Each structure stands twice: as C-alpha cells, then as structure tokens.
Structure 1
C-alpha cells in the first residue's frame, strides 16, 4: 500500500539542531510543510553531499514555510559528532533526527531490516500531516535539492489551487492545467 495521502504515523525522537538536542514528534509537523529526508548513515560518502546540497538550499525552503528533517538510524550523539567533524555537515541548520530504534524508518517504510539503515527516501508532508510526495533512490544515487524544491512548490500550488494541476517540468509562474472534458485528447 502506498503512503501517499496518508498521515504521518505518531513518533517521538531526539534531533541535533543548532548545537542542541531537541525533541521532535509528529505534532511538530502540524500547520507547516515538512520534508523528511532519510539517508543511510552518518560518516558515509553520498549522504554528506545530499545533506550539504539541502543546506545550500535551506533558505529557499524556509521562504516557502518548509522545515527540513534529515533522518538516519544513527543516534543524536553521532549526528553531533558528524556535525562537529565535517565541514559539509557543519553548515546544516535544519534538524537531524535520530532514529536508533528504527521506528520512524519503519513508519515511512524505508528501513532496510537486515542492514539496520534507511533507504534514501524523501517525503513531502503537507500542513495537515499528510504525505504528498514520495521519492526513493538506490543507495548509490544522490538526490537534488533544487528538484525537490520544484516539487514542493508544485505541491503547494495545487493545494492552494485545487482545480489546477502542474504539468511535467512545471516551474513556478508557468502555466498550469485545469482538467476538464475539453482537454481530453488535446494535450
């Protein structure tokens, strides 16, 4: 069963955020857009490039009212150690959620059980706590924050304009479509 349009399951976790350990839960998401960005592990190879890319684009997400939550099965202590020792990870200012019990990774169905790590999964959650976008990548394929930003803008647009849809490669400000019988077979 797909997780699209389902509510994020309840969770409680500790995150490393701006030099502190903070509590994060499903209640933290209510009323705002959120991105859950699962990655396999701290101190690896592709992961810091992705998290750094998100950090470079974080201000744009914040302008849209979006909070980024990176999530791995590492502990919050490991997140802090990685943040303190890596130039790339040191620039992160969004919360790094620890999931050592694997509960959140199981909730989002990205846990690789026999390895105890998460797949590269991206989930965009709307202000009602419902998952609107899911992206899964193989472990050796990194993601693109600018493409994620484009998808978030599209999700926000169609939420604000329920009678319109965004076509392929839609960019903010471009034309959308209003589905109707008149469009059938004419696109």
Structure 2
C-alpha cells in the first residue's frame, strides 16, 4: 500500500482517530476542521519533559489561534487512556491539567507515518508541526529533533503571514510581523517595497551621521 506523505502545497493526509476532548473520549477527523486553519502538532510521548511545556503553552493560548480562524490539535502515538491520565495529573507534578485543545491518540502509528514524523526504531514521533489551510492544503511544516520544543509565538507569526497572503495576495518578507509592509508579487510593483527599504536605510544613515556629528 502506498502511504500518502504530508507535503507543503499538497492536500493534508486525511485522518480519523480517538482523542480526548474536554475530558471525554471522542473520534475526530481532519474533515471536522474544513473551512478553518489547523495547527496539527506532534509530540513524542506522554509523561515526559519538554512535551507538557509545549502542549500547555498551545492550550493556554488557544484564544489567540481561534481569533485567526484556527484550531489546534496535539497528537502522539499514546492511547487516549494515557492522554486522559496525563490530563488528570496536576501541572505541578508534570501533568497537563485542564486542556482547551484535543489530544489525538494514534495507536496504530499510521497517521504519524503519513505525516512523515514516525521514528520506527523508537515507536515515537519527532516534534512535527503542520499548518493546514481551510482548503485542507499543507502550508508549512516544522520538524524538530526530540530535545527542543517549538515556539507558540513563531507558530502564530506564520499563521498570521499565511492568512495575510491568502486574503490579500501579497507576499511576506523576512521576519514579517503583523502590520509590517508586504510585497506585491510582480516585477514592477515589487519595486515600491524595495524603494521603501532604500529610503528607510538612507534616513537611518543620515540620522546616525547627524547624531554623531554633534559636539
């Protein structure tokens, strides 16, 4: 059987699996999130060390994602029973506590394999994060090795950028933040952006010269 692997610009591999949602067991699927952006992130294992810091951070800031028409799902290859036990463990003891996002259980490992983040030898996943747009297309993939967690701030920045380009048709330059200038993807029109950079550089240089010349 040919396994569909997640690729940027391609449809996200469909999935359906049990999850813990608001303290209860419920099957969820990619189809449930059609028409909204989705941050689908994977972590290696329940009851570990970096993982709760990531999951709690995304859960606690879910309102910021929802304001951007985006949902968030966390996932691992543990069972839904393990997820629930971890949720029911106090945060001061390494648990998750109350969750505002679903925790998906990929017990068969098939979804993890489709998303290209399964480590066969260890039976766990890398720290994969996928931004999927309302059409079900993968727009961004980040995969970390096990020791280093992801950034909620950077995920929100990327989400803001993709939403902007989808809505306005312009493209976002390096280090773009909400409110920054964007570029019209046209040879002639793009010169407006580059000219503005040159003007800003000249103003900064002039200001520096003036300041340093004052006795």
Shorter-chain TM band = over 0.9
C-alpha separation between the residues in 1 aligned to 2:112 and 2:150?
18
Determine which of 105, 108, 127 is the counterpart of 2:112: 105
Aligned residue number for residue 31 of structure 1: 35
1:79–1:96 CA contact under 8 A, matched in 2: yes
Return the TM-score normalized by structure 2: 0.82
Determine which of 168, 175, 192 is the counterpart of 1:161: 168
**2:179 matched to 1:173?**
yes
CA RMSD of aligned residues (A): 1.6
Aligned residue number for residue 141 of structure 1: 148
C-alpha separation between the residues in 1 aligned to 2:63 and 2:32?
19
Aligned residue number for residue 67 of structure 1: 71
2:88–2:98 CA contact under 8 A, matched in 1: no
Determine which of 21, 41, 46 is the counterpart of 2:45: 41
Unaligned runs of 5+ in 1: none
Determine which of 125, 129, 132 is the counterpart of 2:136: 129
SS in 2 for 1:41: coil
2:21–2:103 CA contact under 8 A, matched in 1: yes
Unaligned runs of 5+ in 2: 198-215
Q: CA deviation at 1:134?
A: 0.5
1:39–1:118 CA contact under 8 A, matched in 2: yes
SS in 1 for 2:128: strand
Q: Considering Cα pairs closer than 8 Å and 6+ residues apart, tell me whether 1 or 2 has the greater RCO.
A: 1
After superposition, the C-alpha distances for 1:49-99 in whole angstroms (9 at most, x for unaligned) are: 111111222110011111100000001111000000132511321000000
Matches within 5 A, 1:80-95: 80-87=84-91, 89-95=96-102
